[in-house]
Structure 1
């Protein structure tokens, strides 16, 4: 009996705005597309299981690495502005280069605000929104962000000294396991944070990541625009959140229902990097949502 081979993930690099942008893709480009937007400190590597699963369900899935992440170019801060506006500009150019006419967005962490800026620029292209622990509301920035907010409002040396240390090996690991119950820790592969830190621990790279963190304050000014986009478009929306997320409060998950009454919200017994520990829960939720809502 002939067995069906799982879809292959293809790894490519494309030249965008003077940068080499690495990406992974799976599936037939003529099928409905899903653009997968990774978060900090990860890369398209976080979608290594989701890409073939989506392709097998007859979707075209594509996941770029942002500049300064994964295997994309990581220019020094004196030659590239590490801002979310600039990241969105690169990804918008990537969308044009790849001739993505319409696509759903998977939005996680930093990728959420980058992806939503792309959506504001190309509203006619967006078919659906899938948020997985992504920030669009002030409620997501809980008490854990108090020192960051103080620094953003008044970036003095004293306020910087109050920031927790996170741009190091242990801070990278914590992005995955912070807040997660002890019995779930064996679900996480150390390959993830080991790879992330190996790529981040390159000359000038920590400075670039801190510059991007400093720019996060500007994302908050975009939240009203994101909400207006939600209200105006009423796109099919799936919200998946980790109950134990230590970075974006689970209180944000319910906020999407204010502007998107038909949004489907699922709270998982997971942390911030839920796709690592709860892929078997997230993938069926996504496939069911896409089958019902993506026309």
Structure 2
């Protein structure tokens, strides 16, 4: 993903390599995001097709490249893009964090540490990958519904 931050190469990579392209490509993307074959194989083709069509929306590539360029550079994370503990402590709203145990973007320990900075946060380890609702939609739905019942 760091290569996407390069001026000429980035948009090309985002539009080709980082785009699902088809239903099988969507399933491969989910595996890269840490989800096991048991999850990716059982998700409906219609959901995978929606993922593919999302990639085809106007400006998707431009937006994705812009997001990555603000967060990372070739040498790694941009220090100015990191959440600071003081920033998180100022969040007034209750926060629900649902974290997959094998999220490739951060360990469970990192998620718990981040949650500890919020004044009112609830942290749950659920599922496996970066999108834990793919692995365990029932539990995620219950957590979100309970959170909204209490705070909505």
Query: Shorter-chain-normalised TM-score: which range?
Result: 0.5 to 0.7
Number of the residue aligned with 2:47:
192
Match of 1:274 in 2: 132
Q: 1:242 touches 1:269 (CA, 8 Å); kept in 2?
A: yes
TM-score, normalization: structure 2?
0.65
Structure 1 residue 159 displacement after superposition = 8.8
State the SS of the aligned residue for 2:19.
coil
Distance in 2 (CA, whole Å) between partners of 1:151 and 1:177 is: 20
TM-score with structure 1 length normalisation?
A: 0.38
1:139-158 matches, cutoff 5 A: 148=2, 152=5, 155=6
Distance 1:217 1:181, change over 3 A: closer
Query: Comparing both chains, which one has the higher relative contact order based on Cα–Cα distances under 8 Å and sequence gaps of 6 or more?
Result: 2
Q: Choose from 214, 223, 228 the match for 2:82.
A: 223
Gaps of 5+ in 2: none
Determine the structure 1 residue equivalent to 2:113.
255
Which has a greater percent of strand? 1
Aligned mates of 2:129, 2:31 — CA distance in 1: 7
Give the CA RMSD over aligned residues.
Answer: 3.8
Alignment of 1:28-177 (within 5 A): 148=2, 152=5, 155=6, 165-169=17-21, 172-177=26-31
In 2: Cα distance, 1:202 partner to 1:237 partner: 30
| Paired positions, count | 144
Task: Quote the residue 2:69 is aligned against.
Answer: 214
Partner deviation per Cα, 1:107-143 (whole Å, 9 max, x = no partner): xxxxxxxxxxxxxxxxxxxxxxxxxxxxxxxxxxxxx
